[in-house]
Amino acid sequence: MTPAEARERIRRRSDLNAFISLTEEEGTGPVVGVKDLVDVRGTVTTAGSRLLPEVPAERDAPVIARMRRFGCVVVGKTNLHEWAFGLTSENPHYGPVRNPLDPARVAGGSSGGSAAAVAAGLCDWALGTDTGGSIRVPAALCGVVGFKPTVGTVDTEGVVPLSRTLDTLGPLAPDVRSAAQALETMSELTGLLPERPPSRDRLRIAVPEGWDDDLRPEIEPAWRAVSEGLPRVRLPERRRLVDCGRTILFVEAAAFHRRRLEDHPDGFGADVLALLRQAARVDRREYRAALIEQSRLRLEVEAAMQDWDALLVPATRGPAPRIGAAHDRGLLSDTTRPFNTTGQPVIVLPAPLPGGDGLPVGVQVVGHFGEEAWLVQVALALEAAFAAERPAPST
């Protein structure tokens, strides 16, 4: 699509609140939405808040500068959960991001605007960030592909942080091929797309034992269909991985926002304010212990995966909540956060739905640390297998 076509589509779907601002950029390359944590020259970076100065960035973040070398055109800055500290993108300042598949439901967070923009066809692909599931949760809830690469793959300079230890940048796109191509424009990675991916039946894929025992009934049938018959592998207990990552995130987020929290507490939305106050109570000794535990957990997970090409893991344990409804954060992030703790690359795919309809169900394909190219091959093979399993559309 052209930038003008994208802007017209965005205006027609303004009800989704997918974008905070638009640019006037022109060009013939891919039209990209950028999560409004990332500096784009000439645009104000809001981080989904009203507390940052309304001053346009003077220069592009390195990731944007690299994307421009591939011809990418930034059409606008996408909406998000305030300060990227949440899972729904119900933003009190710029409006809730609505799920294009059911506008009464959230798009997920914190990269909700990026996922909604891709799902609604408002851009070719979008840039997101992921600290505890912020690419993968909205990708799953909106039925698109999300790619969280190995931590450190994409430069995070010029990006408003949440947790510098865990923050990761990656793309959301309509399919695996587009996501892989997008990641190549964002990073130094090359050669991610094979001439011919392996067939599904030649891959060694396992499921973490016990990690799918507590799925909501809206999720379970689709998950069972794609995971049936796969061998089980014993990973570290899920709660260890979740708690370790949350402790690191909380301490680093509280440190970054300490002065704002002291000087302008009324400038935060209620949910983010409550989280930051909770985060501020985490002891530094817990933080040091969590960093040591993180190293231990990475080794344990890698050892458990040594005989497998990838793991298949539910992206969420429940469906997209309704906007304004109370929700259990763990239902959305307890299966994504572990792989921020380990730093592994993960691609989320939409699973085929039994019966052919219903809310999207996302499946994580978890790869080995630093092996994005092989993960792309596995995801391409699964994507093709899932497409063959989808019921034909009714006529």
Distances (CA, A) of 323 to 50, 97, 175, 312, 329: 21, 9, 27, 29, 14
Cα 2 to Cα 8: distance, rounded to the nearest angstrom: 10
Residues annotated catalytic, as ranges: 35, 110, 134
Distances (CA, A) of 108 to 9, 141, 198, 259, 297: 21, 6, 32, 28, 27
Pairing verdict, β 73-78 and 31-35: parallel
Beta-carbon-side half-sphere exposure of residue 38 (alpha carbons within 13 Å): 32
Please state whether 95 falls in left (phi above 0), alpha (psi between -120 and 50) or beta. left
First-last CA distance in the chain: 28
- Residue pair 331/316 in contact (Cβ under 8 Å)? The answer is yes
Distances (CA, A) of 353 to 20, 153, 260, 313, 382: 32, 32, 45, 16, 14
191-193-198-204 Cα dihedral, nearest 10 degrees: 70
Q: Give the CA diameter of the chain.
A: 62
The candidate with the shortest Cα–Cα distance to 227, out of 354, 355, 136, 345, is 354
Cα 134 to Cα 316: distance, rounded to the nearest angstrom: 12
Q: How far is CA 127 from the centre of its chain?
A: 9
- CA angle at 295 for the pair 289 and 296, rounded to the nearest 5°: 85
Cα 135 to Cα 131: distance, rounded to the nearest angstrom: 8
Tell me the three state secondary structure of residue 49: coil
Cα 197 to Cα 124: distance, rounded to the nearest angstrom: 23
Tell me the three state secondary structure of residue 173: strand
Q: Which residue has the tokens 């303004």?
A: 14
Q: For 321, list phi and psi in degrees, rounded to 5.
A: -70, 160
